[in-house]
Amino acid sequence: MPVTTIDGREVHVDAEGFMTDPAEWDESLAAALAAAIGIELTDRHWELLRFLRADFAEQGETATTRRVQTVGGVPTKEQFALFPKKPAKKMAYVAGLPKPKGCV
Amino acid sequence: MRRLVVLGAGTAGTMVVNKLRPRLARDEWSVTVVEPSAEHFYQPGFLFLPFGSLRARDVVRPVRPTLTSGVELVRAAVDRVDPDARVVHLEDGRTLAYDYLVIATGTSPRPDETPGMREGLGDTVHEFFTYHGAMALAARLADWPGGRLVVHVTEMPIKCPVAPLEFAFLADAFFTDRQIRDKVEITYATPLPGAFTKPVASAALGSMLEDRGVHVEPDFVVEQVDAEAGTLSAFDGRELGFDLLVTIPVNMGADFVARSGLGDELNYVPVDKHTLLSTAYDTIFAIGDASDAPASKAGSVAHFAVESFVPNFLAHVAGRPMTHGFDGHANCFIESGHGKGLLIDFSYDVEPLPGTYPLPRVGPFRLLRESRVNHWGKLAFRHLYWHALLPGRRLPVSAHMSMVGKQRPEAPTPGTTTGPVVPAGMD
């Protein structure tokens, strides 16, 4: 498993760059990850990220865009506005979670 | 008398009752299956109906004769399950008490979930995941003069994730045979980043689309369909024009699952992926497309799952631990047109890889490569389905996925980097 240094700390990532250990994540890391993909985090981003983290802790899986809409209460349209073009991937990346499976 | 109630007499439910009935003593267990439809459909055949290569009577049989003797068939739809009282409420007002319940009510296309899709169905918008939809599309294709065809997947997961790819391959062959291929522009729009869900297969299948002149529009998350204007728009602002849209609508589990408080946001029943036992109730299992197990929603998965489920169920009801873990094994033929096909074989942990199946080198089936034998395998499977699979006879292949005959790509070597690594395709 590759290791990278973000925000002065060593974190484990997969071959693509997604974090592999959710416990290594914190909010300052999220800001650094968001900046890497050109996103500045607003309050609404934080609400969404906290939902993703809490939902992952409960379910053991990254929420899909549908789940973020129906359970997290953030419409898909808004997810696209907050995390342009590829919200599912970008939300997981910034939240330090595995890519949502959605696809098997 | 203990009571087993199975909801749904589709592929999974039928195999469950046919395999369990002989293993449960008649004086100790009653076995009941609840199914609203009088007909059992061979769903893999729906792919061929639009192109006229199978006829209606090839894909439909009455339900009753598919069930073994000693199984009671209740022709009704389910209103809801009361899992605490262990009672199934039927829509006609009857109730069925159970000791153990198996939910096998599958998944179904929901065009209502996408604005404009339902309204457009029948004219320029079609689907082939239902019998009636496939027949309507057959009528449309029979005299379609050509134009812009968009083959579209709304949202994952769907039943049989290779079906829309097969449709694109068969459409290319169909229009070529009719000598109007030059009048047809084919686009494949998918919410996935490529042709398929897993990288090795995605690359192989993606280049097959390219070879056939099919344009792939990846990461396409549809917002709405405008049938009148002939456009499909995505949340990111992209718009695709079509003269004929063949879409796979959102797939969802049965509504009674939601009404019973047993489902996730797509009405799938959360289960332990190895035992298929509900994570909420130890008297409820969900098998086949109805569960949230992260395997393909496909008949082959249901078949392999049933092989593990039967000994697990017998152990569970006897108070013993369930030791036959299901590995997510899937085995799917992919029709590629002009009498050829591919085969993929994979599991929860192993993605589809190239190689041969079931034997190393000799096959006879080729994995992830086109061959005529694969196509014959797909055609022969229809007879196996009715005469061996549904009756619960053992097929000469292992229920567990095997690495024998498969070629694994080299794993990338781990390294150390500085700063966030940005995944490819994030822009």
CATH number for the domain harbouring residue B32: 3.50.50.60
Q: Which run of H or E residues covers position B82?
A: strand B78-82
pLDDT averaged over chain A?
Answer: 91
- Whether A90 and B426 lie within 8 Å, measured CB to CB: yes
**pLDDT, tens digit, 9 for 90 and up, residues B301-358:** 999 999 999 999 999 999 999 999 999 999 999 999 999 999 999 999 999 999 999 9
**pLDDT, tens digit, 9 for 90 and up, residues B30-58:** 999 999 999 999 999 999 999 999 988 89
Using a CB–CB cutoff of 8 Å, tell me whether A68 touches chain B. Answer: no
Are B135 and B242 in a shared domain?
yes
Report if residue A82 sits inside a domain. yes
Are B132 and B212 in a shared domain?
yes
Are B115 and B247 in a shared domain?
yes
pLDDT for residue B197: 79
Using a CB–CB cutoff of 8 Å, tell me whether B416 touches chain A. Answer: yes
Are B169 and B238 in a shared domain?
yes
Question: Is the pLDDT confidence value at B425 over 80?
Answer: no
Could you tell me the CA-to-CA distances from A38 to A53, A90, B237, B417, B422 in Å, in that order? 21, 11, 19, 20, 11
Size of interface A-B (CB pairs under 8 A): 84
pLDDT for residue B30: 98
Q: Report the alpha-carbon distance of residue B6 to residue B88 in Å, rounded.
A: 10
Are B224 and B270 in a shared domain?
no
Q: How confident is the model at residue A104 (pLDDT cuts 50, 70, 90)?
A: very low
**pLDDT, tens digit, 9 for 90 and up, residues A65-87:** 999 999 999 999 999 999 999 99
Half-sphere exposure of B30 (CA within 13 A, CB side): 13
- Domains in chain B, number: 3
Half-sphere exposure of B341 (CA within 13 A, CB side): 21
Q: How confident is the model at residue B414 (pLDDT cuts 50, 70, 90)?
A: low
Question: Is B156:B119 a contact under the CB 8 Å cutoff?
Answer: no
Question: Is the pLDDT confidence value at B409 over 90?
Answer: no
Tokens of A90: 């970008």
Mean pLDDT of B204-209: 96
Which range among A90-104, B53-67, B266-280, B362-376 shows the weakest confidence by mean pLDDT? A90-104
Report if residue B414 sits inside a domain. no
pLDDT for residue B169: 98
Mean pLDDT of A13-27: 90
Q: For B242, phi and psi rounded to 5 degrees? A: -145, 150
What residues of A are in contact with residue B199 (Cβ under 8 Å)?
none
Which of B265, B415, B420 is nearest residue A70 as measured by Cβ atoms?
B265
pLDDT averaged over chain B?
Answer: 95
Are B94 and B170 in a shared domain?
no
Which of A33, A67, A86 is nearest residue B420 as measured by Cβ atoms?
A33
Q: Report the alpha-carbon distance of residue B418 to residue A5 in Å, rounded.
A: 5
Mean pLDDT of B18-31: 98
Using a CB–CB cutoff of 8 Å, tell me whether B410 touches chain A. Answer: no
Mark which residues 269-298 of B lie under 8 Å from A by CB.
294-296
Report if residue B420 sits inside a domain. no
**Full residue range of the structural domain in which residue B341 is found:** 330-389
pLDDT for residue B327: 96
Report if residue A100 sits inside a domain. no
What residues of A are in contact with residue B417 (Cβ under 8 Å)?
2-5
Report if residue B383 sits inside a domain. yes
Are B7 and B122 in a shared domain?
no
3-state helix, strand, coil in chain B (%, to 5): 30, 30, 45
Check residues B409 and B145 and name the one with the higher pLDDT. B145
**pLDDT, tens digit, 9 for 90 and up, residues B287-305:** 999 999 999 999 999 999 9
**pLDDT, tens digit, 9 for 90 and up, residues B157-168:** 999 999 999 999
- Domains in chain A, number: 1
Report if residue A102 sits inside a domain. no
Question: Is B103:B285 a contact under the CB 8 Å cutoff?
Answer: yes
Q: How confident is the model at residue B417 (pLDDT cuts 50, 70, 90)?
A: confident
Are B116 and B234 in a shared domain?
yes
pLDDT for residue A16: 84
Report if residue B141 sits inside a domain. yes
Sign of the dihedral through C-alpha B347, B367, B341, B173? positive
Question: Is the pLDDT confidence value at A94 over 70?
Answer: yes
Q: Residue B15 has what DSSP assignment? A: H
Q: Which of A1, A15, A103, A104 does the annotation list as catalytic?
A: A103
Q: How confident is the model at residue B265 (pLDDT cuts 50, 70, 90)?
A: very high
The two beta strands, A3-6 and B416-418, are parallel
pLDDT for residue B277: 98
**Full residue range of the structural domain in which residue A24 is found:** 3-94
Question: Is A22:A96 a contact under the CB 8 Å cutoff?
Answer: yes
- Whether B412 and A65 lie within 8 Å, measured CB to CB: no
Which of A13, A65, A102 is nearest residue B421 as measured by Cβ atoms?
A13
User: Apex CA B210: angle with CA B204 and CA B213, to 5°?
Assistant: 150
Are B337 and B382 in a shared domain?
yes
Report if residue A99 sits inside a domain. no
Report if residue A103 sits inside a domain. no
Are B258 and B353 in a shared domain?
no
Mean pLDDT of B245-256: 98
Report if residue B402 sits inside a domain. no
Are B247 and B115 in a shared domain?
yes
Are B237 and B126 in a shared domain?
yes
Does residue A103 carry a catalytic annotation? Answer: yes
Chain A nearest-CA distance from B265, in A, is: 6
